[in-house]
């Protein structure tokens, strides 16, 4: 049943009709648990509260299914506005974005134009920018663009997904760029031709790339809610005398909040991934797919109980 629900929510996450409907009717029905709001002031307020608890943040101006150059440039403008707000309010926050929202499916020229505009401001404001990884079909393009931008900018990183067979090769290939990488399990529905279908295999591959990247001496963001992976990382850094300054844990806004606070108390750097914006629907559906138990919370919101 859990797999059926997962597939159902992943299907919904890619549905353009429901995405447009969600934009029209706003942030309702429980999504507020995982999304900070629709505006930058909403996001700033959330970041300040998390910073006060000793947590760092990365904000994501949500955007999917960009169909025109105008929409892509508007999405880039939104990212620039967010970076300026982080600088203005002296917040401990980075920015995350998806290249599809920058026009990846339209043209590489458009993406590069938008990314350079964003990164010029990010360097000025000293705000780090992470390029989120999307589905497998866009993996090569995403990494190619990251490499080109990394040659000119320091304040940029990207994401690698442990469920892909190719990921260990990507870790090694990117090592020459001294990359700051966020390592995740992966949240998209992928074919068994390109991704491990079994959780145990994903977990083992995840541990493998965490170890590879840390021992390569690069900054590593371990983005997980899985206690087994968290404990593995703690043992790994202790056994190899790796400084706490070389890695951090990341979790999603609204999920395992108590665990986030525990890690801060234990002295680890904890960064919370905080999405905001009116294009929240796809992100919300993927969170439900990852953990169908979250549906109970949503139903509670719909029923007003």
Binding-site residues for FAD, in ranges, read: 133, 161, 185-187, 199, 224-225
Active site residue 203: no
Catalytic residue among 132, 170, 203, 279: 132
How many angstroms separate the most distant Cα atoms in the chain?
Answer: 53
- The binding site for substrate comprises 98, 286-287
Confirm if 236 and 214 have CB atoms less than 8 A apart: yes
The CA distance from 291 to 141, in Å, is 29
Task: Answer yes or no: are the C-beta atoms of 145 and 133 closer than 8 Å.
Answer: no
Strand partners, 223: 250
Question: d(Cα 108, Cα 106) in Å, to the nearest integer?
Answer: 7
Beta bridge partners of 221: 182, 248
The verdict on whether 117 is a catalytic residue reads: no
Binding residues, as ranges, are: 98, 133, 161, 185-187, 199, 224-225, 286-287
- At residue 13's C-alpha, the angle toward residues 60 and 93, to 5°, is 10
Among residues 60, 150, 170, 182, the one annotated as catalytic is 182
Residues annotated as catalytic (active site), given as ranges? 132, 182
């Amino acid at each position: 049943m859990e797999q059926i629900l997962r597939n159902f929510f992943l299907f919904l996450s890619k549905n353009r009709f429901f995405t447009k409907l969600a934009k029209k009717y706003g942030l309702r029905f429980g999504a507020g648990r995982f999304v900070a709001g629709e505006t930058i002031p909403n996001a700033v307020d959330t970041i300040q509260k998390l910073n006060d608890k000793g947590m760092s943040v990365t904000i994501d101006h949500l955007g999917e299914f960009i169909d025109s150059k105008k929409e892509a440039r508007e999405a880039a403008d939104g990212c620039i506005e967010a970076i300026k707000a982080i600088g203005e309010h002296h917040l401990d926050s980075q920015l995350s974005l998806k290249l599809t929202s920058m026009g990846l499916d339209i043209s590489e020229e458009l993406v590069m134009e938008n990314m350079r505009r964003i990164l010029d401001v990010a360097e000025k404001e000293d705000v780090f920018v992470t390029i989120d990884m999307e589905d497998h079909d866009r993996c090569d393009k995403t990494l190619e663009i990251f490499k080109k931008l990394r040659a000119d900018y320091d304040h940029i990183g990207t994401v690698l997904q442990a469920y892909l067979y190719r990921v260990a090769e990507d870790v090694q290939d990117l090592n020459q760029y001294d990359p700051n990488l966020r390592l995740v399990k992966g949240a998209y529905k992928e074919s068994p031709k390109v991704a491990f279908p079994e959780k145990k295999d994903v977990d083992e591959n995840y541990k493998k790339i965490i170890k590879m990247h840390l021992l390569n001496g690069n900054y590593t963001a371990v983005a997980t809610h899985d206690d087994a992976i968290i404990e593995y990382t703690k043992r790994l850094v202790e056994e190899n005398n790796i400084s706490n300054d070389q890695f951090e844990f990341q979790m999603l806004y609204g999920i395992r909040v108590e665990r986030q606070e525990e890690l801060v108390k234990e002295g680890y750097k904890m960064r919370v991934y905080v999405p905001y914006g009116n294009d929240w629907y796809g992100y919300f559906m993927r969170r439900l797919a990852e953990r169908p138990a979250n549906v109970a919370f949503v139903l509670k919101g719909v029923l007003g109980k």
